[in-house]
Chain A
């Protein structure tokens, strides 16, 4: 057995035990790791840090509502070829010249092992994951236009994120290893903040976390503040030199934590009551 504990977080990314374990299982089994969790729990950042920790190059595939599965493999630029055809020349005869590999295609065609991030897979059409089944499973694909088979020499480490927006098809799920990133508890959150603000005093951090978790605990709030918002908020407090202990009642820079009018109003009402 090769070394199992290949990933243990990095100096700028704190991963929980469960998450580290999930990453290591995915790497050892050579299966894609599917990550879900609240926005702002660091799903996308994980891929960067896995790549950094394993010392492998990272390829990103940001999925949009219009993305097709084939776009990730390759795109055949017909218009360019059509355009070139007016002038003749040898290049036009070589279709290979007009095949551009997408992120997944590059990961499979690469000569060394790669980390591939497929970000927000749920953004695309319902059938999108189904179209990737064979490629994810066999780690190979065929370029129809040139009859070329691309077979991965090294199975890439695939990390897929999803915002829980849509049910992914069962057949796709069966081929993945799954991890749900829970929202960090207070202890872990303190560690995460310390990574970003190493000089923060314990008392200030304590106070900030009090405010943050009580905001998150407020019932009926529509968009609960997340990790990245907490870090932004502390950054704003630092820059403005605001001392939390001296501010009576109100929360300074509330706009960095709450992002909807409804929530700000709600909090105002509660403060008055």
Chain B
């Protein structure tokens, strides 16, 4: 039953497993769906979907599959019968209305309802024919037709309405990137080692020593495991990076969170890196790149965040630095290569969408540093590269820039 719905869900990239599907069947057998479409909508979502980021896709799949079956026959008949069997309500009717009611028996009303529902293609309010709200057609809710049929109880909305509304659209994963998510992505960037104060009980060693001591207890402590990764973060600010400033501040917040790395330093640059980077975003405290290379270990991880977009002269010609009075004798690309040669592992995160990369200055820069898009997936891939190494992603034709 509903096996097609399973495949509709899977077609929407919702990886519902057999395990979950069997659970759903068990739940249906127990009647947990309340014999209604609304109940089924909730039940199926509760059991099969485990991530709010997928609620939107679920809503779409549900709307697609149940568009043609959006009638809740069992519940409807029950409501109708309850209504018709409720004499108190009938007494409130005028004689005319009661006469009209006589002429409209259950079967007829239901047939008419289903027929209208099939014809109706969209939401409809305030009319006298279609099913909707606030109208005088016999079908719908909040309406005025005397013998009308109310759909859904107590102001509650139907599953189709909820599904069609797509309330969960903003939770989709490809859109958001907040501090916490970056934080989680950066958690992968670690190499544990024992260093520092001895605070943890070393059980094996304690037992060993105690035995050698003929049973006299000798407690041994050792330092706890800590992350040993050191990170240098270089950030492009100003100019074309202004639209991304919010994102940059989130990256910085996540990366600089205390205790994350054994050592964390961050510097700023504008457009491209030449002989100096800056301790502050206002470019008042320069740090020569030569000094930076001199006092950093080759095992430190270099992370550069920037759009890598500039005039080709700024990257490829001596004296190309446009913004500063610094007159660079080596080209920007040479400075980047010096950085790239010093650090064993480095990654460049770029907020520009990947499809715009080829044919720009991103291409030569990506031949020096592995470049990933500044998205959750991109950060994860960059972190993997920093920890485990591996080939850089290819942008355009790297052979053109080797040299």
Contacts and interface: CB of A to CB of B under 8 A. Distances in A.
A124 to B, nearest CB: 12
Size bracket of the B interface: 35 or more
Contact of B19 (A4, A34, A174): A174
Nearest to A5: B34
B173 to A, nearest CB: 10
Contacts of A21: 39, 42-43, 46
A97 B312 CA distance: 75
A225 to B, nearest CB: 17
B215 interface: yes
Interface in A168-224: 168, 170, 173-180, 220
B20 interface: yes
Contacts of A28: 27, 30, 32
A29 B20 contact: no
Interface string A159-172: 00001111110100
A240 interface: no
Contacts, number: 79
Contact of B217 (A82, A167, A176): A82
Interface in A21-35: 21-22, 24-26, 28-29, 31, 34
A142 B238 CA distance: 60
Contacts of A180: 52, 55
Interface string B11-48: 00001010110010011001110000001001100110
Contacts of B344: none
B31 A79 contact: no
Contact of B46 (A22, A36, A82): A22
B106 interface: no
B194 to A, nearest CB: 15
Given A21-B43, A29-B27, A85 B215 contact: yes
A18 B42 contact: yes
Interface string B188-202: 000000000000010
A191 B15 CA distance: 37
B203 A31 contact: no
A100 to B, nearest CB: 16
B184 interface: yes
B207 interface: yes
A86 interface: yes
A215 B344 CA distance: 47
Nearest to B23: A29
27 contacts: A1-B30, A1-B31, A4-B32, A17-B156, A21-B39, A25-B46, A28-B27, A28-B32, A34-B50, A78-B203, A79-B203, A82-B206, A82-B210, A83-B217, A85-B215, A86-B215, A86-B217, A126-B187, A165-B183, A168-B50, A170-B17, A173-B50, A173-B51, A175-B19, A178-B46, A178-B51, A180-B55
Given A21-B43, A28-B32, A166-B184, 12 more contacts: A1-B30, A18-B42, A25-B46, A79-B219, A82-B206, A82-B217, A126-B187, A165-B180, A174-B17, A177-B47, A178-B50, A180-B52
